């Protein structure tokens, strides 16, 4: 039975990746940082099947110990301070976790067993103020937030360990991917949750920032399959993962509200508070390499994603 270590197991992607790896017959070791309250909402249904160990990307010793103890063949680094606005209010922490944390994990692998295959969760935020449209593996980076800057470091240190030490270190440049398990502060979940509240008479308005920002949004369940595929290749590489479509935040609102028979214009209020010091205006992927080499394709359309998220929040609220 192969063993995979997954950092960021309590996050959106960690939960979907754990489900996928279990289905494929892996022993899954999830790494979670210690917190004073229980934080296993997304993986509660998996707790009988996976092992959760304490570890932190800010603590080198914890990473060394867990690799020595569990002897994985694959390590997926999904842990990060991943919310872009927080990266302006906590830039040094974001750098320490999201950038230097990658080096700590790569160093742990290099010392314990350099044959371990490594996946780094890189991001389309690295393209930032985009240098070309659409964005591929060859598009130069121009990050627009401390988060984007930290991810550029994480990407290049992954490439550097591949080239310096001949390690199997792959970098997945994933465009935005969402699901009913998305954190509440990200715009898609914020909209879905607000639509459900408004539809049930529990809220009257939704305050948002820039409605014109465009993103290439896909379904997180599809994207974890691409992570796994990257580690099954003959050679480590960089891959862009996205749908090849882009939509504005405004369009997400239109579809989400109209799904429950409402007009978003009557409920959405634009609020300066949610604008960013520097915005990423347009992201759209060119996923040709992933399609050709990994044979990866997204299976959920934009409209299906929006309605899936609204329906899920409606069902959750009705239940509670
Ligand atoms: P997420 O839901 O925010 O999950 C992040 C995970 O990292 C959580 O489990 C969090 O633990 C953990 N974490 C934070 N700081 C840590 C630390 N110091 N040590 C150990 N763990 C720590 O993010 P996601 O959406 O699943 O994304 C997964 C990864 O892909 C992230 O690296 C993200 O930056 C990257 N990414 C995401 C997208 C996207 O659209 N979702 C696109 C491209 C790249 P707690 O639960 O304790 O906070
Ligand atoms: O913002 C605009 C906002 O916070 C999307 C992370 O997973 O994907 C994610 O980063 C857009 C931005 O995601 C609100 O200005 C408008 O243009 O949902 P988001 P993100 O910043 O794209 C990338 C690929 C990652 O790697 C990150 O980890 O929506 N927007 N009004 C808003 N955004 C938020 N959060 N809240 C608003 O009220």
Q: Where in the chain is the domain with CATH 3.90.25.10?
A: 183-216+246-283+301-319
Residue nearest to atom 13 of ligand 2 (CA): 186
Ligand 2 site: residues with CB under 6 angstroms? 82, 84, 123-125, 175-176, 185-188, 190, 208-210, 213, 215, 249, 274, 276, 279-280
- CB-based contact 239:294 (threshold 8 Å): yes
Q: Is the CB of 28 under 6 A from ligand 1?
A: no
Per-residue pLDDT of 287-296, as tens digits, reads: 999 999 999 9
Q: Is the CB of 52 under 6 A from ligand 1?
A: no
CA-based torsion, 96, 100, 102, 106: positive or negative: negative
* 227 Cα: distance to centroid of ligand 1 (angstroms): 14
Name the residues annotated as catalytic. Answer: 123, 125, 147
- Domain 183-216+246-283+301-319 sits in CATH at 3.90.25.10
Per-residue pLDDT of 108-135, as tens digits, reads: 999 999 999 999 999 999 999 999 999 9
Q: How many Cα atoms sit within 13 Å of 226 on the Cβ side?
A: 33
**If you search the block for the tokens 């899920």, which residue do you land on?**
312
Atom of ligand 2 nearest to the CA of 281: 17
Atom of ligand 2 nearest to the CA of 209: 31
- Domain 3-177+217-241 sits in CATH at 3.40.50.720
Residue 241's DSSP bridge partners are 174
- With a cut of 50, list the residues of the chain below it in pLDDT: none
* 134 Cα: distance to centroid of ligand 1 (angstroms): 25
Element (H, E) at 311: helix 302-319
Q: Where in the chain is the domain with CATH 3.40.50.720?
A: 3-177+217-241
Q: What are phi and psi of 123, to 5 degrees?
A: -140, 150
């Amino acid at each position: 039975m192969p063993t995979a270590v997954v950092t960021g197991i309590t996050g959106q992607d960690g939960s979907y990746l754990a489900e996928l790896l279990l289905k494929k017959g892996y022993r899954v070791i999830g790494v979670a940082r210690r917190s004073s309250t229980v934080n296993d909402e997304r993986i509660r249904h998996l707790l009988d099947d996976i092992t959760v160990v304490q570890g932190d990307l800010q603590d080198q010793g914890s990473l060394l110990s867990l690799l020595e103890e569990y002897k994985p063949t694959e390590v997926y680094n999904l842990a990060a301070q991943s919310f872009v606005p927080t990266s302006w209010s906590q830039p040094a922490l974001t750098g320490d976790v999201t950038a230097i944390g990658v080096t700590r994990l790569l160093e742990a692998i290099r010392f314990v067993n350099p044959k371990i295959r490594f996946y780094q969760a890189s991001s389309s935020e690295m393209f930032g103020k985009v240098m070309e449209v659409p964005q591929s593996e060859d598009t130069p980076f121009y990050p627009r937030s401390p988060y984007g800057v930290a991810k550029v470091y994480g990407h290049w240190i992954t490439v550097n360990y591949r080239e310096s030490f001949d390690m199997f270190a792959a970098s997945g440049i994933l465009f935005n991917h969402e699901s009913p398990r998305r954190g509440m502060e990200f715009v898609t979940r914020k909209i879905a949750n607000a639509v459900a509240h408004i539809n049930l008479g529990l809220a009257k308005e939704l305050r948002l920032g820039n409605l014109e920002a465009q993103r290439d949004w896909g379904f997180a369940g599809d994207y974890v399959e691409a992570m796994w595929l990257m580690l099954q290749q003959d050679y480590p590489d960089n891959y862009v993962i996205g749908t090849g479509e882009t939509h504005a935040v405004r369009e997400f609102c239109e579809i989400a509200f109209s799904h429950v028979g409402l007009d978003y214009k009557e409920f959405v209020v634009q609020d300066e508070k949610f604008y960013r010091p520097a915005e990423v205006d347009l992201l759209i992927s060119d996923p040709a390499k992933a399609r050709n080499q990994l044979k990866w394709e997204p299976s959920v359309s934009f409209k299906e994603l929006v309605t899936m998220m609204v329906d899920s929040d409606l069902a959750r609220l009705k239940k509670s």
